A and B are shown apart, each in its own frame.
Chain A
Amino acid sequence: MKRYFEIYLKFLAQHLKRMLQYRSDFLIGAGSFLFIQASGILFMVLIFQQIPDLNGWSLTEMMFLYGYFQLPRGIDHLLTDNIWLIPTKVRRGEIDRYLLRPINPLFQLVIERFQIEAFGELIVGVALMIYTIPLLNIDLTVWTVLLGLLFIILGSLIYTSIKLITASIGFWVINSMPIMTTVYNIADFSKYPTTIFPKVIQYTVTYLIPFAFVSFLPATALLNRSNGLEILLGSVIAVSVLSIAAYRLWVLGLKSYQSVGS
């Protein structure tokens, strides 16, 4: 465990050095993420010029939800973005070298990349939190803060697990990238209160591809619209099932992995 930690720090130091070298790429990358987020916020602001609330959600609450959505997404983005490359690496036979070293292959793969552009998402998320929380009736007790942080960690685990599952399909099909993107886009439903969507979609994002546990359901808990403990329990169950399934599938994929020539 200590060894893994040391290796991680070494990699992190390398990434930071590289970031300092390609400063403009980092700044433009993070800036562009800010811009993309701004478009989502702009959409909500313009919409609320036309309507007083959206199925009982005010603009401030919507912005809180939108900001909260960015946090687990940003963390997952920052730390495990290299999972996106699994389908490509399988196709090109580049998984070999992870199998040759005496360290967990998934760990090696994940630490290869540190997606610093994700700070764009994290900055927007934190800024929206700071802006909306004083305006909303959220009592900042130790319990709510702890609950909020816990949900963020669980939420990023949900993201990572779903990403790993869809990426691991790449061991059996030629290119699972479009599947990954399609499933990843479904997370967009969780940017808004899922209750505004038809029942089919509500069930899908709660039980089948549980993106609702990433931001919508935790947000209802933090806004005192639902029972925090129930949501926490559901989230823990979802994370356990998904992460075990994801890791199993990845290991299974590694077993069936055959390299390519040269």
Chain B
Amino acid sequence: MFQTIKPYWAYAKASFTVGFAYRLHILFWVLSDLVQVGVLLLIWIAIYGNSSSTTMQGYTLAQMMMYNLIIYMTASFTYMKPLFDLADDHFDGKVAMSLIKPTKYIYEVFFRNLGNNFVGNIIISLPLMIVLSTLTVTANHGVNFTLGTTILYVFSILLALLISFFSNFIFATMVFVTDATFGMMQLNEAVVRIFSGSLIPLSFFPGWLKTIAYILPYASVYTVPTLILMNRYTNSELWINLGIQLAWAIGLIIGANLIWSVIITKMKVHGG
């Protein structure tokens, strides 16, 4: 097992080194994210100010703000964007090179993304985790991180990471069919934003929309870890959701491999 994974770490290490070289750059991107999160938090303050009740769908204002921050953190913990790699490799004809290597392309891309993901974790997610933990300990925001929820959160994040990568990978293979990088990227982001719970908690959705959200894998990437950390699940709900995550992870790994094995037989590479 260790021997088979070992060669792939080189990919992760390489992309980590490159990503870390641009850490200042990433900090600036965080700044622009902060504006967006800030707009969202201020809107929620205004929304609760106009409501006659202090809770909405079971969230107080403080809990809603925590929800938005935690889901942002969860998004950056599970950030995997194989679409960039696939589009680059597709248009440069580099996929051909990857096919003659003894490593498998799909896992090569996975580890490349993992390297980048670690950079984000060091610069954004972990500091944010520390800040949020301090916030919940020092003041009562209706959310308490306990040792138990934190451990379950980490476990859930690991599964979410797999789901995030392999679902986006399947989405990204459509670049080979459509040749539309920019469009696919936007579309992927839009679908994830609506159905993951990062736009608004899924409990605000009407029934039919909720059904779509739970048919798609994105709730398992964003909503499930977030609600675990916020301790909003009963015991049975918790294990059911973790089970669904596990099923998604396994199903998507198998699915992505199947789709990929079909695509490489159909693909034409020019030059490279």
Contacts and interface: CB of A to CB of B under 8 A. Distances in A.
Interface of A: 22, 24-33, 35-36, 38-39, 42-43, 46-47, 49-55, 117, 175, 178-179, 181-182, 185-186, 188-189, 192, 196-198, 201
Contacts of A201: 42
A43 B199 contact: yes
Contacts of A30: 183
Contacts, number: 106
B254 interface: no
A26 to B, nearest CB: 8
Given A55-B46, A55-B50, A28 B31 contact: no
Interface of B: 25, 28-29, 31-32, 35-36, 39, 42-43, 46-47, 49-51, 56-57, 178-184, 186-187, 189-191, 193-194, 199-200, 204-205
A69 B28 CA distance: 26
A189 B39 contact: yes
B160 to A, nearest CB: 21
Nearest to A193: B46
B186 A197 contact: no
Given A28-B180, A39-B199, A182-B31, A188 B186 contact: no
Contact of A54 (B32, B50, B189): B50
A50 B25 CA distance: 39
B183 A46 contact: no
Contacts of A181: 29, 32
Contacts of B28: 178-179, 182
A185 B28 CA distance: 13
Contact of B32 (A52, A55, A185): A185
A27 B179 CA distance: 12
A88 to B, nearest CB: 13
A164 B198 CA distance: 32
15 contacts: A25-B180, A28-B187, A32-B184, A32-B187, A35-B186, A35-B191, A36-B193, A38-B194, A42-B199, A49-B204, A54-B46, A185-B39, A196-B43, A198-B42, A201-B42
A10 B14 CA distance: 45
B43 A182 contact: no
A26 B183 CA distance: 8
A27 B35 CA distance: 30
Given A28-B187, A31-B187, A181-B29, A192 B180 contact: no
B263 to A, nearest CB: 17
A178 B31 contact: yes
Nearest to B53: A50
A52 B47 CA distance: 10
Most B CB contacts (10 A, CB to CB) among A22, A28, A30 go to A28
Nearest to A176: B28
B190 A36 contact: yes
